[in-house]
Amino acid sequence: MGMFERWLTLWVGLAIVAGVSLGLVAPSAFASVAALELAHVNLVVAVLIWVMIYPMMIQIDFAAVRDVGRRPQGLVLTLVVNWLIKPFTMAALGVLFFQHLFAPWVDPQSASEYIAGMILLGVAPCTAMVFVWSQLTRGDPNYTLVQVSVNDLVMVFAFAPIAAFLLGVTDVAVPWETLLLSTALYVVLPLLAGVLTRRALGNGAALAGFVARLKPWSIVGLLATVVLLFGFQAETIVAQPFVIVLIAVPLVLQTYGIFAIAFVAARMMKLPYPVAAPACLIGTSNFFELAVAVAISLFGLHSGAALATVVGVLVEVPVMLSLVAVMRRTAHLFPDSGELF
């Protein structure tokens, strides 16, 4: 493990501090970057995520992808956790905390909007960052691609009905531009670039050397993304720290709880580690662009729902890094962990 990966938690912590500090010192600069959006997808963040996942896309072997159907258990686990468990546990936690435990500190209208934002996060499983977490845990890149692709396909049909059911509304408008553009930017284009690179370099030492040289840039992309995300929300973090903490508590519990469910299930199913790692992490991460876009369209830019989805963005990276560490340290509990670490 290189220096970047070994001390990644420290670098992310410093990036968070840097992001908040720079966001307070130069808010106009971050506002300009935040304005570079297309269909609620920030193009600068999209480029940085592209930098993060491109090295993993190069490692995808389509011959191996065709073999995924012979071991569908990990894919089944992903779909069950993402669509039959996660949205409903998120809704339950939102109600528990904001209608009961936190009721003395939050007015009913704000509470209902925070719950709505949490639900939208729960119904939007991650697309892009899964590739990053899978790479950090030494997950199988071929299997991760299939998991993400099938998950995105299900999202097209299941997002609106489940969100409408849990929100108690019938007019959930899915921002198709956000969904399709994000899929193209975060999956299709990096995958195409990876295929072309692999074809140009072959499968030998040239490819391995190129991937090794790219890995530090993948971490740099992650850190730059953290700086931007926290810089975008610096003023909100400083202005409403108590509210952000209240929203973060159930979101953190949800993340660790979903991971625990997937982890135990993967152990019981005896999934090989390279399959279990992305299967355990894909349900714990969120497709925040989609959740934020829907929250804004349904409840407004300055609503509690939009704020809750933003807090989901802020919580995700530090919490997911801790889960990456847990997965790596427990690799020996799964078959085929081999000499990965």
- How confident is the model over 249-306, as pLDDT tens digits? 999 999 999 999 999 999 999 999 999 999 999 888 888 777 877 887 777 766 888 8
Around 317, how many Cα atoms within 13 Å sit in the side-chain half-sphere?
25
pLDDT at residue 101, rounded to an integer: 94
pLDDT at residue 65, rounded to an integer: 61
What is the C-alpha to C-alpha distance for residues 134 and 82, in angstroms, rounded to an integer? Answer: 16
Around 84, how many Cα atoms within 13 Å sit in the side-chain half-sphere?
8
Determine the distance from the C-alpha atom of residue 65 to the mean position of all C-alpha atoms in its chain, rounded to a whole number. Answer: 22
pLDDT at residue 69, rounded to an integer: 65
pLDDT at residue 190, rounded to an integer: 82
pLDDT digits (tens, 9 = 90+) for 300-329: 766 888 888 888 878 888 899 899 999 999
Angle separating helix axes 304-329 and 108-122, nearest 10 degrees: 40
Give the H or E element holding residue 107: none
Residues of the chain with pLDDT under 70: 1-6, 61-69, 169-175, 301-302, 337-341
pLDDT at residue 82, rounded to an integer: 92
